[in-house]
Amino acid sequence: MASLDSVSIAIFLGAVLVMAGILSSLLALRFGAPLLLVFLLIGMLAGDAGPGQLSFDDVRTTYLVGSVALALILFDGGLRTKFQSIRTVLAPSMVLATIGVLLTALIAAPAAKYALDLNWTESLLVGAVVASTDAAAVFLLVHTQGLRLRPRVGATLEAESGTNDPFAIFLTLMLVEFISRGESSPAHVVLELAREGVLGAVIGVIGGRLVVVALNRMALPQGLHAPFVATAALVIFGVTQISHASGFLAVYLAGIIIGNRPTRAHNSVVTFLDAATWLAQIVMFVLLGLLASPQRLLDSVGPSVIVALVLMLLARPIAVFLCLVPFRFNWREKVFIAWTGLRGAVAIFLASIPMLVGLSKAYLYFDVAFVVVVISLLLQGWTLGPAARWLHVALPRADRGPRRVELDLPGQLEQQLVGYPVRSKSLYFRRGLLPSWSKPTLVIRDERILSPVEADPVAAGDYLYLLAPPEKAEALDRFFVDMAPSSAPDPHLLGDFMVSGEHTLGELAEIYGVSVEEEQAKLTLADYFDIHLDHAPKEGAELVLDPIVLVARSISGGRVNVVGLRLPEDEEQAAPLTRWQAFRRKLADIWSSVAGV
């Protein structure tokens, strides 16, 4: 009975620790503290050196839990990554995720050698352990501090932090193998890297496509779609690892494939994985905190701080600036990308590998990684917002999106039911505008369900449900937020090749002789963009109106307020593609055909 009691006590204490981690997130969100640091501290306080007095030194369990947690986190990151948003920054992100990680490790190695009195191989292992950035840490802190980054910068950070973990893991494993066996060759390293990368990518893409087919063809009971997808991700990870390939790369790519294809129960899958990854991060960081020893940390804190400062102030910036030389990033964007190289769970997880295989000085690697993560979260984490604003890479916060309810319709994937509260100042209520690909289906008013005909006219405070293709549903948000006050049109703009977005198509037709259908003549140019674009308008967006091409020249409040007119005789012949541009386009076409995105 005593053994049964010990199991019950372990379950109780484990649940209490996880609950404490969840509740602590409320305080961290309120005061802007890095959440991951809070989870680490809870683990340390619960350990044998803290008030909790829990003795925990099971490195194997920590590695197992860390592997599962990291696989789910990367899969969830891939699931939320829209390929269209990262394809333009794929090249710089891949360079940062591979060459950038290697350069960071090489530059940090001398600091580790002289500060920690290690040989060159051991110093390079320290550099490899702390070289990669942490996707969960980066985007959790960006969200917590309410930042809205410039799309190119945000997409680069997202793609880099999601793909640099597999290379860092590979580099760490190669160095651990070299230290433990004492032999390796450049040819062996290259072959291992090629096998892990290529085989991992192949298994990830094939696995992702198989999950999409299975999810759409199998009639699973309601509620089992999300567990099926999460389990399938772990199956892909396990099969890839057994094949001695990169399971972390495989699950990330599988997530991208699944997230960019129409599937059943997509919203419930994303919600489930969001909760699963939160729990995985909490459990992993609490276990890593339990594994840490404050006494050991104090013995090596000085040299570890030196390594952390060299990493943040020299290694990462030099690697970023060198890797981004071929790409058109300005110095402000490069500085911010360099400063946003936060370290998190991956560094401490990698540091547990030398402990697992029993290397000498294994605990030193773990302690250095622990101190580096704490300093990174404190310095970089708390200054992320001010740095973004000072470097002008943070855009003004847009109005918070409307409360949206998405319902998956059983039996088909072409349409999704989306519901919005109707606001009195919204674009839909003020002008009755909706894109042609959406269809109002029902209206909720005073707890009564009405058809659009019965509810006509829709009143403020109603709840409107519409049918829309899943890939376009988010574009409906802009029709249900409050309209920004528009300034009076400048009459002088109409006579030039730029016009105010408040002018109507009818006015444009009178001056430039374009043909406009009678029912569209009263639409403003801003309305025309809202109706015919599948996404929120951006500068440079184009629409054809008879022989004229309308170009969005300026955006205000989410709407086009200045439109450029490109007349037929003004169109220039497109410049021929350079070899590099043609090669990149060919690679993008091949990826699209293979991945189905």
pLDDT in tens, 536-582: 777 778 888 777 788 887 787 677 878 887 765 433 444 555 666 66
387 in Cβ contact with 91 (< 8 Å): no
Residue-level pLDDT at 530: 79
Q: What pLDDT, on a 0 to 100 scale, did the predictor assign at position 315?
A: 93
Q: Tokens representing 581?
A: 């541009």
Contact residues for 510 (Cβ-Cβ < 8 A; gap 6+): none
Provide the token pair at 265: 């129960």
Edge-to-edge order in the sheet of strand 559-566: 498-500, 559-566, 548-556, 542-545
Question: What is the average per-residue pLDDT within 299-303?
Answer: 85
Least confident of 414-423, 478-487, 528-537: 478-487
Lowest-confidence region among 63-67, 135-139, 319-323, 438-442: 135-139
Using an 8 Å Cβ cutoff, are 136 and 193 in contact? Answer: no
- Residue 297 has what pLDDT? 80
pLDDT score of 400 more than 60: no
Q: What is the rounded distance in angstroms from the CA atom of residue 193 to the CA atom of residue 197?
A: 6
Report yes or no: 443 and 462 within 8 Å, Cβ to Cβ: yes
Quickly count: other Cβ atoms within 10 Å of residue 119's Cβ: 10
Give the pLDDT band of residue 102 (cuts 50, 70, 90).
Answer: very high
Please report which confidence band the pLDDT of residue 309 belongs to, taking 50, 70 and 90 as the band edges: very high
Question: What is the radius of gyration, based on Cα positions, of the chain?
Answer: 27
pTM comes to: 0.70
Instruction: Encode pLDDT of 224-273 as tens digits.
Output: 888 999 999 999 999 998 988 888 889 989 998 998 887 877 777 888 88
Q: Please compute, for residue 172, the number of CA atoms within 13 A of its CA located in the half-sphere on the CB side.
A: 32
pLDDT at res. 53: 64
pLDDT in tens, 274-297: 778 777 777 777 887 888 777 778
